Structure 1
Amino acid sequence: MPAPIAADQILRVPLLPVLAAQAVSVRRKAQQLPEPLGPRAGREGRGPRLRLLIAGDSSAAGVGAGRQQQALSGFLVARLARHYSVEWRLEATTGHTTQDTLERLERLEGRFDAAVTALGVNDVTRAVTQQKFTTLQTRLLDHLTNALGVRRVVVTAVPQMDRFPALPQPLAWVLGRQAARLDQGLKQVAATFPQARHLSVTFPDDPALAAPDGYHPSPKAYRLWADAAADLIRQA
């Protein structure tokens, strides 16, 4: 039986002129932040070997931080390096969807023990359906756990886009509802892989957790995210 059509999906049609105008305005006014400078691979710490892969979109790439040490990769590696000899690699690019990341990782050689993924925002803005998103995420997790040998995948939740300061209403509501649908599918996919854990990072209402563009995390938010991801990796 097909799922009932949600209110936001019904209202998209009459709201289309407003949504289109707001989307154009957001793109025109958006502050374009670069990906931070710094290494995207390396080795740090002492202890048992841990091969770590971080993959995804602009948030995985660290947009909103000035350098990689202040981004997800930097905080995560520093936290794990207290317990392991971390050999890490960052495969992330602004604008990447799940499809883009899957294609990128299919060209990647090597084996990894742990991985953190961050995807979904670009799938939302490109109108990827929940069915297609879950199919692609299933393929991505299958590739990570089989071809790349990952034993623990931390699957970061699709962000709550209705809370992005840069998005006006009703655009924020419509994108937020679609993001929630994709995240529900993501939870279901993660539950079918024993190696995967869905990570929902609920940030408090603190302006300091948003980057100046109102769209990406700040270094303070990246630290909270990295701490939560490190805890899930260490549990494995």
Structure 2
Amino acid sequence: MIFIRRHRFTSRRTARPRQKKIGGQSSAGGAAGIVVPIFMVLSLLPAACSSQGELLSQADADARYLALGDSYTIGESVEADRRWPAILARNLENRYPHSSISVQYRARTGWTTGNLLSSLMETPPENSYDAVSLLIGVNNQFQGLDFSTYRQDVPRLIALARNYSSEGNIFVLSIPDYSYTPYGGMLSPGDRERISREIDEYNSWMEEYCRQQGIPFVNITPITRQAIDNPDLVADDGLHPSAQAYRLFAEEIIRQIDIQALLDLE
């Protein structure tokens, strides 16, 4: 395991924290006297996993689903079958027992919108999907990137996601709030408030953009803010959502949008 070097946190009232590395990327968050496991960079899966965990070829599946994002999509610190896209597929297969869903990922821990864009442009997905999801942006905020970068990148990502779906079926998830985790609890109150405020700004902009574009938007941020009172919603690394939180993500997707229609399940 690689760890972030310890350093003293400086309140925003006096100076911005010194830059540190997260997932191979520069970041501007910090805490006094803690060591946070670095976001491991995971390889893309070569094949889709069915909800039962075995390899399922795209040709054998009734529905094909592509999940785009970062550590929140690839499920940092949980088993592969406990990522929210895998749980979502399993829940839908239970509701529609005559259907099978293959899930593929284009997601890595530490990715910003720019990293995801670069990956998709350099190596476009080879298959056509029934639905595509997008959950991205936390690393833009974490690294202190200018918000204009997010505003410029998102329309391009949305356009690509639509192209990857045979029917243009996509949906977007809001950014979780990591200030409510044990990691966030080690930050100053001022920095926790700043993180939540900035994540709200990202999510508000994305929700409005999705509304204008007619794209289903799922707000899962309130689930992550329950972690301050429910530690079971946080993985062992003290930063990422747990399998229990991802289960709630999947349930919220089914509750908020007509996901079965996007995947054309019967």
- Alignment match, 1:16: 15
Relative to 1, partners in 2 of residues 1:40 and 1:75: Cα closer, same or farther, differing over 3 Å?
Answer: farther
- Alignment match, 2:37: 31
Q: Which moved more, 1:99-108 or 1:89-98?
A: 99-108
- Alignment match, 1:89: 104
Q: Look up the equivalent residue of 1:85 and give its one-letter code.
A: S
1:58 and 1:207 map into 2 onto residues whose CA distance is 19
Give the deviation of 1:175 after TM superposition.
1.9
1:180 maps onto 2:200 in alignment: yes
Q: Which moved more, 1:90-99 or 1:72-81?
A: 72-81
Is the CA contact 2:114–2:153 (under 8 Å) kept in the aligned structure 1?
Answer: yes
Query: TM (normalized to structure 2)?
Result: 0.72
Q: How does 1:1-236 map to 2 (within 5 A)?
A: 14-17=13-16, 19-20=17-18, 23-25=29-31, 29-32=35-38, 34=40, 41-42=47-48, 44=50, 49-65=62-78, 67-82=79-94, 83=96, 84-106=99-121, 107-108=123-124, 109-149=126-166, 151-167=168-184, 168-169=187-188, 170-194=190-214, 196-201=215-220, 202-203=222-223, 204=226, 205-231=229-255, 232=257, 233-236=259-262
Identify the structure with the greater helix proportion: 1
Is the CA contact 2:29–2:142 (under 8 Å) kept in the aligned structure 1?
Answer: no
Identify unmatched segments of 5+ residues in structure 1. 1-11
Query: TM (normalized to structure 1)?
Result: 0.80
Give the deviation of 1:131 after TM superposition.
2.8
1:27 and 1:139 map into 2 onto residues whose CA distance is 40
Give the deviation of 1:122 after TM superposition.
0.2
Q: Look up the equivalent residue of 2:132 and give its one-letter code.
A: A
2:33 and 2:173 map into 1 onto residues whose CA distance is 25
Q: CA RMSD in A?
A: 3.1
- Helix, strand or coil at the partner of 2:213: coil
- Helix, strand or coil at the partner of 1:112: coil
- Alignment match, 2:7: none
Is the CA contact 1:144–1:150 (under 8 Å) kept in the aligned structure 2?
Answer: no
Give the deviation of 1:16 after TM superposition.
1.9
Give the deviation of 1:85 after TM superposition.
2.2
Is the CA contact 1:54–1:60 (under 8 Å) kept in the aligned structure 2?
Answer: yes
Percent of pairs with identical residues: 20
1:140 and 1:26 map into 2 onto residues whose CA distance is 36
Q: What's the CA shift string for 1:85-128, capped at 9, x where partnerless?
A: 21221111010011111222232222111122221210101223
Give the deviation of 1:39 after TM superposition.
5.7
Identify unmatched segments of 5+ residues in structure 2. 1-10, 20-27, 52-59
Give the deviation of 1:150 after TM superposition.
5.3
Relative to 1, partners in 2 of residues 1:122 and 1:38: Cα closer, same or farther, differing over 3 Å?
Answer: closer
